[in-house]
């Protein structure tokens, strides 16, 4: 299906790169683009003359879809539809994003999040239809459709139901994260804008280890992650094991950010972002080949989103250094130093500096704690020794007739659990 792109800005030049990528990601062919710099027309978004030009472009290209980068109100969508050739669909970028999400949603969680976002998108439009129809006492006022107050309430009820189900899924995922930590895993999350190269980086960092078929502790782990050059390839999360020095690390790739997302859309995918919010370390991946101003704007948006709830350290990863010169890379390092202090510059596609990134991950993750555990020799002692081997790095085990001494390093939470297990053993009478 052919699509025409449309974008209006208050001042300056209207850029359509991201809208073009989004449209193609949804499966449409871009047949033309129209932009305008002026104040918004309340009835048509574009001015009258530009709308006439839009009609001509649609007619000349036989396009069936017009995609506005600007958010369209019910009036504007209806009025534009009346001007355009019969059968031409008119949508804005948010409806386009929801279409893409709907196409990529494979899991129950992703499908629920898309449904929630669609309902939140639709609710104000239904409220507008109801309000306008009531005011003018004409059902279907301005072609907005029959109004029904019960439909508005149905949407609100569906939103409440979906939120409850997503909350239940989030609780299960929180339990899973806790089990992973108790098993000695550090949790690392990849964040950043779509097409920054997160999936490619995941393959590089975790390429040496695959997920075992009998890993019943982590049933959702995926040994592969797509790295296609298209938006929203990873709508949900993909988690893989990675070897970082002597640590056991789980790295999760999440859905990419995009520009100018409304609050209701970000909120709908909050549970997916929990993988970032509750990680031990966040790698914020940036496409360093983009213009400095664009990178800076994206970093600011990411920081606003992450720092609102995230407590983990954030390391900025300047990706795609193979696409810039050394001079350009250094220039961008200096220009972005306030937002990205001490970044790691890599090429995910070429594998450049991946070992340096792994060393940085090891440094930034929480320090492991040394422990010397002295346990009485009981029937249960060896199971505790085995548990310590599974959850930490054992340096030495000494056996005597009466006791076992285990020297090891582990996450602080694992050390605490080992002490509790040892304490339980001391309460058992000797044979």
Q: Is 350 annotated as a binding residue?
A: no
Dmax over Cα atoms in the chain, in whole Å?
95
Q: Is 193 annotated as a binding residue?
A: yes
Q: Residue 230 and residue 154: Cα distance in Å, rounded?
A: 35
Q: Is 197 annotated as a binding residue?
A: yes
Which residue in 189, 144, 403 sits closest to 280, CA to CA?
189
Report the first-to-last Cα separation within the chain, whole angstroms: 79
Q: Is 198 annotated as a binding residue?
A: yes
Q: Is 347 annotated as a binding residue?
A: yes
Q: Check if the beta carbon of residue 101 is closer than 8 Å to that of residue 261.
A: no
Q: Check if the beta carbon of residue 233 is closer than 8 Å to that of residue 227.
A: yes
Q: Is 320 annotated as a binding residue?
A: yes
Q: Is 27 annotated as a binding residue?
A: no
Q: Is 411 annotated as a binding residue?
A: no
Q: Is 310 annotated as a binding residue?
A: no
Q: Is 70 annotated as a binding residue?
A: no
Q: Check if the beta carbon of residue 83 is closer than 8 Å to that of residue 108.
A: no
Which residue in 294, 297, 348 sits closest to 321, CA to CA?
348
Residues 6+ apart with CB under 8 A from 281: 186, 187, 188, 189, 312, 313, 314, 315, 361, 364, 365
**Token pair for 358:** 């792994």
Q: Is 234 annotated as a binding residue?
A: yes
Q: Check if the beta carbon of residue 69 is closer than 8 Å to that of residue 6.
A: yes
> Counting beta carbons within 10 angstroms of the beta carbon of residue 391, is it exposed (0 to 12), middle (13 to 18) or buried (19 or more)?
buried
Q: Is 212 annotated as a binding residue?
A: no
Q: Is 31 annotated as a binding residue?
A: no
Backbone angles phi, psi at 316, to 5 degrees: -80, 130
Q: Is 321 annotated as a binding residue?
A: yes
Q: Residue 381 and residue 375: Cα distance in Å, rounded?
A: 7
**Token pair for 86:** 């019969």
Sheet holding 2-9, edge to edge: 29-37, 2-9, 65-68, 89-92
Q: Is 199 annotated as a binding residue?
A: yes
Which residue in 209, 302, 290 sits closest to 254, CA to CA?
302
Q: Residue 124 and residue 126: Cα distance in Å, rounded?
A: 5
Sign, CA dihedral 122-127-128-132, equals: positive
**Token pair for 110:** 């992703």
Q: Is 256 annotated as a binding residue?
A: yes
Q: Check if the beta carbon of residue 397 is closer than 8 Å to that of residue 382.
A: no
Detail the residues annotated as belonging to a binding site for GTP: 192-199, 253-256, 319-322, 347-349
Q: Which residues are annotated as a binding site?
A: 192-199, 234, 253-256, 319-322, 347-349
- As annotated, the binding site for Mg(2+) includes 199, 234
């Amino acid at each position: 299906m052919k699509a025409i792109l449309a974008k209006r800005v208050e001042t300056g030049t209207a850029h359509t790169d991201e809208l073009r990528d989004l449209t193609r990601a949804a499966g449409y062919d871009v047949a033309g683009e129209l932009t305008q710099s002026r104040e918004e027309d309340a009835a048509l978004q574009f001015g009258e003359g530009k709308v006439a030009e839009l009609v001509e472009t649609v007619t000349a290209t036989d396009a069936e879809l017009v995609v506005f980068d600007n958010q369209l109100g019910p009036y504007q969508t209806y009025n534009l539809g009346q001007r355009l050739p019969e059968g031409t669909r008119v949508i804005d970028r948010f409806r386009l994003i929801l279409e893409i999400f709907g196409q990529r949603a494979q899991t129950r969680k992703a499908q629920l999040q898309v449904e929630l976002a669609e309902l939140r998108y639709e609710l104000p439009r239904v409220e507008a239809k109801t309000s306008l129809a009531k005011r003018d006492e004409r059902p279907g006022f301005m072609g907005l459709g029959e109004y029904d107050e019960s439909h508005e309430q149905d949407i609100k009820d569906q939103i409440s139901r979906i939120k409850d189900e997503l909350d239940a899924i989030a609780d299960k995922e929180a339990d899973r994260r806790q089990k992973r930590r108790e098993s000695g895993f550090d949790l690392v999350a990849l964040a950043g804008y779509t097409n920054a190269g997160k999936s490619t980086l995941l393959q590089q960092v975790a390429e040496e280890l695959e997920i075992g078929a009998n890993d019943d502790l982590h049933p959702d782990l995926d040994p592969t992650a797509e790295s296609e050059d298209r938006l929203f390839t990873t709508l949900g999360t993909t988690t893989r094991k990675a070897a970082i020095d002597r640590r056991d690390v789980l790295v999760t790739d999440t859905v990419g950010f995009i520009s100018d997302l409304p609050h209701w859309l970000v909120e709908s995918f909050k549970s997916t972002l929990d993988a970032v919010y509750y990680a031990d370390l966040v790698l914020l991946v940036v496409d360093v080949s983009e213009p400095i101003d664009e990178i800076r704007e994206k970093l600011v948006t990411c920081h606003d989103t992450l720092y609102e709830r995230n407590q983990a350290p954030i390391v900025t990863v300047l990706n795609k250094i193979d696409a810039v010169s050394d001079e350009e890379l250094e220039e961008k390092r200096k220009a972005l130093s306030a937002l990205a202090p001490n970044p790691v510059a890599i090429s995910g596609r070429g594998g450049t500096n991946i070992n340096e990134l792994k060393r940085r991950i090891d440094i930034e993750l929480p320090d492991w704690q040394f422990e010397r555990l002295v346990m009485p020799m009981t029937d249960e002692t060896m199971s505790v020794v085995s548990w310590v081997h599974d959850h930490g790095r054992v340096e030495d085990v000494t056996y005597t007739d009466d006791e076992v001494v285990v020297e090891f390093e582990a996450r602080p939470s694992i050390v605490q659990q080992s002490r509790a297990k040892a304490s339980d053993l001391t309460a058992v009478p000797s044979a």
